[in-house]
Amino acid sequence: MTVEAACPLTARDYKSDYKPVWCPGCGDFSVLLAITKALAEVGRPPEEVAVVSGIGCSSRVPAYTNCYGFHGVHGRALPLATGLKLTRPDLLVLAAGGDGDGYSIGGNHFMHACRRNVDLTYVVMDNQVYGMTKGQPSPTTSPEWDSALVPGGTGLRPFHPLVIALAAGANFVARSFSGDPNGTAELIVEAIRHPGFSLIEVLSPCVTFRPEEREWAKQVHPAPVEPTDDRGRAARRVLTDDGFNIGVLYRGRRRPYQPPFGQAQVEVAEFEAEFLP
Amino acid sequence: MAEARQTEGRDTLTVAMIGSGGSGVMTAAEILIRAAARAGYYGLMTKSFGPQIRGGEAAAFVVLSTAPVEAPSDRVDLLFAIDWQNAGRFAGELPLDADSLVVSGQVDAELPSIVTDAAPRIAEVDLKSLTRSHKGTRPNMVALGVTAALAGLPRAAVATLIDERLAGKGEAAMQQGTAAIDLGYEEAAAMTGVDGLTAAGDDGERWIISGNQAAGFGALRGGVRFAAAYPITPATEILEWLAPRLQKAGGLLMQAEDELASINMIIGGSFGGAAVLTATSGPGLALMSESIGLAVAAEIPILVIDVMRGGPSTGIPTKSEQSDLNIAVHGLHGDAPHIVTAPMSIADCLFTAQWSTHLAESMQVPVIMLSDQSFGQALGVVEKPADVAFATRRLLAEEPAEDYLRYALTANGVSPMALPGTAGGQYTADGLEHSQSGLPSSMAADHNEQLEKRLHKVTAFDYGDHWARVEGGGDAAIVTWGSATGPVREALRRLDPGGERVRLIAIRLLSPAQPRQLAEALAGCERIMVVEQSQGAQFFGHLKAQFDLPAGADLFSRPGPQPFRPAEITAMLEEWLS
């Protein structure tokens, strides 16, 4: 299944030649690098990896890898990834996208993917803004942030993805910062290796519409606590921390959801008998 | 023991059984139709319920015949009411007349006006005292005995079924069950007013199957192994039938959180190489539309079965209508060529689902199959359907060359698809317009090439004779589709038994349109009548716009929720042909 160490795979083996649409300085460049580094570390050949996404700046990531990819419609990366993984448990399936795609239009799928706990790794590049449509507030945007679409700010409390993920049943929860691609790659490796549904929330600045997010580099810090397998404790921590704790925040012990697929016990023709009167 | 009376007899008998919730009407009617099937008859059973989730009044309508049953009947020959609670709800569904026999399971009951207005013959069976004096017997089983006897069914066929059903409950239960049937046959011996069925011919094996089961089985035969869906009336039975059987067949059905998820789950599964389906009804199809367009653009084969119900919006979930044709054909944004098929009978749900899977896989395209409630939730006794094996499967790139292009331009528009796991085949499937490699492109040349490729593959495909069913000859033609076909066929059997005056053209492939084939089927016809069940004449409009339906064609169209009855079509055609 994997290529032996004679010629170890490197991040470059997972990178395509296709030039990203991202703005210079975008945090997503580093996340792409982290993903390819992580895949090289895990060592599954590119054709055994599928990167699945929805719509948005960060959702462009599949075509920038040399893996199989699916760039679907807005908000539906997780059901696409779920259908693929359930029927192809042999593949490494990674879903990726942004905060608008995953937490707003795809919010219901996010909850249910956590609850379902299929063995997927979900990398969310959270920049607290809709970048592709040029600067509207997302569910994680702070209430006072002013924009053309919502002048004066939304006045709404931001969505807290990590607490929602914990409450809904995600099996692995981590936070990272795009400015640290090596650290992010390590977290992605661990997420891939952890069974079940893993969420990595990557703080990934939008330098065009949220230039103030460059300051995140100074604000992030390693989580001052050890990862826990206690959901309540993890939830309390992420609810009360400053939002810049980096590292693994929760490692669960739920069994992944993977019903058997592909092992027929009967021939289809055997069902004919039930239609006899 | 009283045996069924074999009088002069009739070829077709329509029975209705009604009762309040828990009275066991449906169980009795299902045993009745199954016993008839064993005795060699054809049949059709439809159900009607009050709005309550549980415990509401229920009615079962069973048509039994020596010939295939194409449609609900015009009248009820025999009505058995276990009780009369809320029976008035079934006004409009219980066409009684002076020749009908109504058997009341209650003595001296006040009969509802839907009965008294029709002035039928009335008989009474005192179910209460009969079951009281025979310990362990149940009213619905006595009612079944009376009904089966009046229908002229052999007692043994009913008794054997009762034994089989109750075998798990012990000897005493089996004896009580057959005792109840015997009581019914004895009561019926004293009744007059309805002739039983003539003996059935012996013309081959019968199946008893609902349209929803048939659709599920057809898809399974076609190779479907992964389904994802969200429950919705009247499609849920497809899913509930499939779920355990997919497991046994090495597949899987996933209940999704909503229709947006279910359509995307199957797209994901198909991208990985599985043949897939989802089943839904109008509201779910509306939710899925965006992603069906994704499957068009990314060239992912999927089957979407829409079991149509009355619309718009929530509409009438438990009743039929042919009003999703427009959304199925035109509901995708952009120029999005895809396939729309429709079965024309309960048994044809099996063939059409199997064929639709074949079309989806062969052309790497979404297929929407428009079944409807009147097929899906009806139980038919039909000739054993043939197993048609289609050879063509998905074209795969198993050993992609160095310069592999996922969306390469080919003669027939279908490009070899690399499945994940295939080294050298990596590509990104995309809803964005793309070049042949799959990489996003907004260039006019790529857009035009890929649009043309996706259109060409569905228009150049050889659909053979399956695009429609053409029966009969003459210089007049009826063009119809779906559940309107059966009532039209029955009306023509009455008006034109030799099939010499009027052709019947039932279209199975609604999109892409086949104007040349329709023109050939209509050659020599001077008069054309289109029959459909929608307020907006959606099929008529589609035929005119896409099939080049000749000017001057006539239209008979009305909305649901009541099914077409043959008399309604017969009356219309008599006038039209005169």
Residues B399 and B497 in one domain: no
Q: What is the pLDDT of chain A when averaged over all its residues? A: 96
Instruction: Give the nearest chain B residue to A111 (CA atoms).
Output: B257
Greater model confidence, B6 or B380? B380
**Cβ–Cβ below 8 Å for B262 and A79:** yes
- Alpha carbon distance B325, B538 (integer Å): 7
- Any CB–CB contact under 8 A between A79 and chain B? yes
Residue B6, pLDDT above cutoff 50: no
**Cβ–Cβ below 8 Å for B261 and A109:** yes
Q: Which of B357, B383, B409 is the last residue of a domain?
A: B383
Phi/psi-derived region of residue B275, left when phi > 0, alpha when psi is between -120 and 50, beta in every other case:
beta
Quick check: B302 and B291 in contact, CB under 8 A? Answer: no
Note the pLDDT of residue A5. Answer: 53
Contacts of B440 in chain A (CB under 8 A): 63, 71
Q: Distance from CA of residue A37 to its chain's centroid?
A: 16
Residues B58 and B172 in one domain: yes
Residues B181 and B238 in one domain: no
Name the residue facing A80 among B251, B268, B421 (closest C-beta).
B268
Q: Which of A16, A18, A47 to mutate to test the interface with B (most CBs of B within 10 A)?
A: A47
pLDDT above 70 as % of chain B: 99
Residue A3, pLDDT above cutoff 80: no
| Domains, in order of start, for chain A | 19-275 (3.40.50.970)
Note the pLDDT of residue B3. Answer: 43
* Average pLDDT score over residue span A245-272: 97
Note the pLDDT of residue B109. Answer: 94
- Residue B32's pLDDT band, with cuts at 50, 70 and 90, is very high
Note the pLDDT of residue B381. Answer: 98
Q: Which of B336, B351, B383 is the last residue of a domain?
A: B383
In angstroms, the separation between the Cα of residue A61 and the nearest Cα of chain B is 10
Residues B323 and B412 in one domain: no
- Any CB–CB contact under 8 A between A162 and chain B? no
- What range does the domain containing B367 cover? 209-383
Residues B81 and B171 in one domain: yes
**Cβ–Cβ below 8 Å for B272 and A76:** no
Instruction: Give the nearest chain A residue to B428 (CA atoms).
Output: A69
Q: Give B436-471 pLDDT, tens digit per residue.
A: 999 999 999 999 999 999 999 999 999 999 999 999
What is the CATH classification number for the domain harbouring B567?
3.40.50.920
- Any CB–CB contact under 8 A between A67 and chain B? yes
**Cβ–Cβ below 8 Å for A69 and B429:** yes
Do β-strands B226-229 and B206-210 pair in parallel, antiparallel, or remain unpaired? unpaired
Residues B176 and B79 in one domain: yes
Do β-strands A121-126 and A198-203 pair in parallel, antiparallel, or remain unpaired? parallel
Name the residue facing A70 among B225, B260, B271 (closest C-beta).
B271
Contacts of B245 in chain A (CB under 8 A): 271
In angstroms, the separation between the Cα of residue A57 and the nearest Cα of chain B is 13
Does B321 reside within a domain? yes
Q: Which of B360, B383, B406 is the last residue of a domain?
A: B383
pLDDT above 90 as % of chain A: 96
ipTM of the complex: 0.97
Does B390 reside within a domain? no
* Average pLDDT score over residue span B327-349: 98
Farthest CA pair distance, chain B: 86
- Alpha carbon distance A84, B471 (integer Å): 44
Q: Which of A39, A67, A68, A258 to mutate to test the interface with B (most CBs of B within 10 A)?
A: A68
Residue A2, pLDDT above cutoff 90: no
**Cβ–Cβ below 8 Å for A266 and B425:** no
Contacts of A71 in chain B (CB under 8 A): 428-432, 440
In angstroms, the separation between the Cα of residue A261 and the nearest Cα of chain B is 5
Q: Give B512-547 pLDDT, tens digit per residue.
A: 999 999 999 999 999 999 999 999 999 999 999 999
Does B309 reside within a domain? yes
Q: Give B45-66 pLDDT, tens digit per residue.
A: 999 887 777 778 899 999 999 9
- Residue A27's pLDDT band, with cuts at 50, 70 and 90, is very high
Which residues are CB-neighbours of B59 under 8 A, at least 6 positions away? B16, B17, B18, B25, B47, B48, B49, B90, B93, B94
Contacts of B221 in chain A (CB under 8 A): 268
Residues B127 and B222 in one domain: no
A85-123 burial: b if 16+ Cβ within 10 Å, else e:
bbbbbebbbbbbbbbbbbbbbbbebbbbbbebbbbbbbb
- Residue B8's pLDDT band, with cuts at 50, 70 and 90, is low
- Any CB–CB contact under 8 A between A91 and chain B? yes
Does B42 reside within a domain? yes
Quick check: B20 and B369 in contact, CB under 8 A? Answer: no
**Cβ–Cβ below 8 Å for A84 and B268:** yes
Residues B358 and B448 in one domain: no
- Alpha carbon distance A29, B120 (integer Å): 82
* Average pLDDT score over residue span B85-97: 89
Domain count, chain B: 4
**Cβ–Cβ below 8 Å for A87 and B274:** yes
Q: What is the pLDDT of chain B when averaged over all its residues? A: 95
- Any CB–CB contact under 8 A between A241 and chain B? no
Note the pLDDT of residue B49. Answer: 83
Residues B99 and B184 in one domain: yes
Contacts of A62 in chain B (CB under 8 A): 428
**Cβ–Cβ below 8 Å for A264 and B249:** yes
**Cβ–Cβ below 8 Å for B250 and A261:** yes
In angstroms, the separation between the Cα of residue B252 and the nearest Cα of chain A is 6
Q: Give A181-235 pLDDT, tens digit per residue.
A: 999 999 999 999 999 999 999 999 999 999 999 999 999 999 988 999 999 999 9
Does B1 reside within a domain? no
Q: Give A135-154 pLDDT, tens digit per residue.
A: 999 999 999 999 999 999 99
What is the CATH classification number for the domain harbouring B90?
3.40.920.10
Residue B5, pLDDT above cutoff 50: no
Residue A1, pLDDT above cutoff 50: no
Q: Please provide residue B331's backbone torsions phi and psi, each rounded to the nearest 5 degrees.
A: -80, -5
Which pair of structure tokens corresponds to residue A158? 């931001």
Residues B320 and B341 in one domain: yes
Does B470 reside within a domain? yes
Note the pLDDT of residue A26. Answer: 98
User: How many A/B residue pairs have CB atoms within 8 Å?
Assistant: 179
In angstroms, the separation between the Cα of residue A154 and the nearest Cα of chain B is 27
Greater model confidence, A22 or B57? A22
**Cβ–Cβ below 8 Å for A70 and B208:** no
Does B369 reside within a domain? yes
Residues B223 and B368 in one domain: yes
Which pair of structure tokens corresponds to residue A99? 């905060």
Q: Give B104-143 pLDDT, tens digit per residue.
A: 999 999 999 999 999 999 999 999 999 999 999 999 999 9
Q: Give B369-426 pLDDT, tens digit per residue.
A: 999 999 999 999 999 998 888 877 899 999 999 999 999 999 999 999 999 999 999 9
Residues B29 and B162 in one domain: yes
